[in-house]
Amino acid sequence: MKVQNYKKLMGGSLLIVTMLIGCAGAPQNNPLLTEAEQVYSVAENDSLVVLKAPVALKEAEENLEKSQAIWKEKGDEKLVNHYAYMAKQKTAIAIETAKLNEAQDAVEGAESRRQVVLLTARRAEAIAAERKAKDALEEAREDRLAAEKAREEARNAEQKAIEMASRISELEAKQTERGLVLTLSEVLFDFNSAELKIGSKNVVEELTNFLNEYPMRKVLIEGYTDNIGSVEYNKTLSQQRANSLRNALVNNGVNTDKIETKGLGEQYPIATNINEAGRQQNRRVEIVVSDNEGIITQRKD
């Protein structure tokens, strides 16, 4: 009885020992499964992979679980290896998928960044163009102002000249298409004479002042008569009258080359020659004043 009991105890102990040994020895490592587990564990803890490749990661997990289950049940090692390999590759696919998605996002991001760069550039260009346009506008405005000022000055000068000429009381100053024309009435000369009356001294004086004041301006003195007497005679008389006015001016110190003379006789009457009043108007001397450049508009015949 005792021996039997002892034997029983021994048997039990042996069984337990055997079981324990079996437990420790049975699940040796499967290298492929271990590798798959490691790879998967890394991917599982990578938030990028979890976020960007959840499906491939899930497939890896399923394969890994299959492998582990078969391994646990001590099933076919071929299948353990198969699913471990599948798990490993699926994990690799998950990682690459995540990288691909990230790259695609980056491409989109880069595209929008490129747009931003282009936009910035366009804006900078627009600003530059605007500034250029503004500068041009400002320049044009300045040019216009300068031109206006020059015109204003010219107008003022012209106005002043006219005013000054007008002050010569015996002269009739007129702005004509030939420019400024001063008309001396016949009263400055005696009838049929080319000599200036004493009273014309004042006129000569003022004309001299005028020419001194405007050194750029020249004058053309044109003598005219009525139609009494021969054409030849009248022409000569008109030339002599023009000459005597010139001489008076030259005597007063005016430079000769500032004065031109012309005897035009009975041409270009300004009034009728039928009556004395008209004839008196036609007997005259006209002084054509040049422009600021010294150019005199000649009569167009």
Stretch that binds other proteins, among 6-14, 104-112, 197-205, 235-243 (CB under 8 A): 104-112
Q: Whole-number minimum distance, CB 34 to other proteins, in Å?
A: 18
Q: How far apart are CA 277 and CA 275, in angstroms?
A: 6
Nearer to other proteins, 79 or 250 (CB): 79
Q: Where are the beta strands (DSSP E) in the chain?
A: 171-176, 179-185, 219-224, 259-263, 284-289
According to the binding rule CB under 8 A, does residue 97 interact with other proteins? yes
According to the binding rule CB under 8 A, does residue 112 interact with other proteins? no
Which string of x and - marks every residue 115-134 that binds other proteins (by CB under 8 A)? --xx-xx--xx--x---x--
Nearer to other proteins, 2 or 78 (CB): 78
According to the binding rule CB under 8 A, does residue 50 interact with other proteins? no
Nearer to other proteins, 9 or 121 (CB): 121
Residue 54, H or E segment: helix 54-72
Q: How far is residue 243 from each of residues 1, 62, 278, 299, measured CA to CA in Å? A: 182, 129, 24, 19
Pairing of strands 259-263, 219-224: parallel
According to the binding rule CB under 8 A, does residue 96 interact with other proteins? yes
- Binding other proteins (rule: CB under 8 A), the pick from 92, 250, 264, 271 is 92
Nearer to other proteins, 95 or 287 (CB): 95
| Residue closest to 289 by CA, chosen among 218, 239, 224 | 218
Q: Which residues on neighbouring strands pair with residue 259, listed in sequence order? A: 219
Stretch that binds other proteins, among 101-109, 163-171, 196-204, 237-245 (CB under 8 A): 101-109
Angle between helices 231-251 and 201-213 in degrees, nearest 10: 60
Q: Which residues on neighbouring strands pair with residue 265, listed in sequence order? A: none
Nearer to other proteins, 16 or 107 (CB): 107
| Residue closest to 211 by CA, chosen among 165, 156, 263 | 165
Q: How far apart are CA 223 and CA 214, in angstroms?
A: 23
Nearer to other proteins, 12 or 75 (CB): 75
Q: Return the amino acid letter for 4.
A: Q
Nearer to other proteins, 14 or 100 (CB): 100
According to the binding rule CB under 8 A, does residue 100 interact with other proteins? yes
Count the residues of the shown chain that bind other proteins, applying the rule CB under 8 A.
29
The owner of tokens 């002043």 is 160
According to the binding rule CB under 8 A, does residue 162 interact with other proteins? no
Q: How far apart are CA 66 and CA 85, in angstroms?
A: 11
The owner of tokens 């039928």 is 274
- Binding other proteins (rule: CB under 8 A), the pick from 35, 61, 62, 89 is 89
Q: Whole-number minimum distance, CB 49 to other proteins, in Å?
A: 12
Nearer to other proteins, 117 or 228 (CB): 117
CB 60 within 8 A of CB 40: yes
Rule CB under 8 A: which residues touch other proteins?
78-79, 82, 85-86, 89-90, 92-93, 96-97, 99-100, 103-104, 106-107, 110-111, 113-114, 117-118, 120-121, 124-125, 128, 132
